[in-house]
């Protein structure tokens, strides 16, 4: 099994921010239910609804996360 660092080369601050976003229960870890909820939302909704600024790198990151998640 691979980790996110094997798929996307992000600075530590970005990885920390992503995991902080997923840590909705503030327990210091990503619970599987929240992870699936966010991933499903990004898979099935229009990406412009999630990232209104539509920066290209954000779209690319989400695509890479989706690919990693599906694998």
pTM: 0.44
Sign of the CA dihedral 43, 23, 1, 13? positive
Give the pLDDT score at 44.
63
DSSP 28: S
Give the pLDDT score at 38.
76
Condensed to tens digits (0 to 9), the pLDDT of residues 31-49 reads 888 888 877 776 666 555 5
DSSP 27: S
Domain count, the chain: 1
Give the pLDDT score at 1.
42
Domain extent for 8: 4-70
CB-CB contact of 50 with 41 (8 Å): yes
């Amino acid at each position: 099994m691979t980790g996110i660092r094997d798929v996307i080369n992000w600075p530590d601050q970005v990885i920390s921010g992503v995991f902080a976003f997923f840590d909705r229960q503030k327990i210091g870890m990503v619970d599987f239910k929240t992870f699936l909820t966010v991933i499903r939302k990004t898979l099935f909704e229009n990406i412009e609804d999630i990232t209104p600024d539509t920066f290209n790198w954000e779209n690319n990151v989400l695509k890479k996360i989706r690919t990693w998640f599906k694998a």
